Amino acid sequence: MIGRKVTGRKCIVAVDDSSIVLKTLEKLLGETYEYHAFTKGMRALKYLKENAVPDLIILDIDMEEIDGYEMLEMIRKKEELEQVPVIFLTSNNDRQHVMKAISGGANDYAVKPVDEESFMGKVRKLLQEDKKTLSWDDV
């Protein structure tokens, strides 16, 4: 089984039909996190079924085989994955798409092209690594 149980790092799965976007995400995430990229939704779903539960999933909306909304619905129906945070990363930035994503169970929404600082802030927040938030455990 692949995942943080083996590497000790948090695991992120990204699904986007653009290899350019996936390479950009690899540059942002690859050094800090265990990163797995998929250009096909069905391959990603197979990976999620057969491997350790990731700490975060990043989905595009517009993909050929299965779109991001369908993937999110399938992810939320699987007991092991229902609590895994999901960020939509897409070029669809109108209010209708944002509302559909959030009401479908996405935790956050980011627009392409990626604003690195903003996107990484969202990732850290969902992985509960936001350095700006202090808790009693930090004292």
The pLDDT value given to residue 8: 82
CA–CA dist 12, 35 (Å, integer): 5
Look at the chain and count its residues: 139
117: left (phi over 0), alpha (psi -120 to 50) or beta: alpha
The reply to whether the predicted model has a pTM over 0.85 is yes
Those residues of the chain that have pLDDT short of 70 are: 1-7, 130-139
The pLDDT value given to residue 64: 87
Contacts of 13 (CB under 8 A, 6+ apart): 36, 37, 38, 44, 47, 48, 54, 56, 57, 58
Bridge partners for 11 per DSSP = 34
The pLDDT value given to residue 97: 87
Backbone angles phi, psi at 95, to 5 degrees: -55, -35
Contact 18, 37 (CB under 8 A): no
The pLDDT value given to residue 4: 45
Starting from the edge strand earliest in sequence, which strands make up the sheet with 86-90, in order? 34-38, 11-15, 56-59, 86-90, 108-111
The pLDDT value given to residue 92: 84
The pLDDT value given to residue 3: 44
Q: List the one residue out of 124, 52, 51 whose CA is nearest residue 87.
A: 124
Residue with tokens 């992985």: 127
The pLDDT value given to residue 55: 97
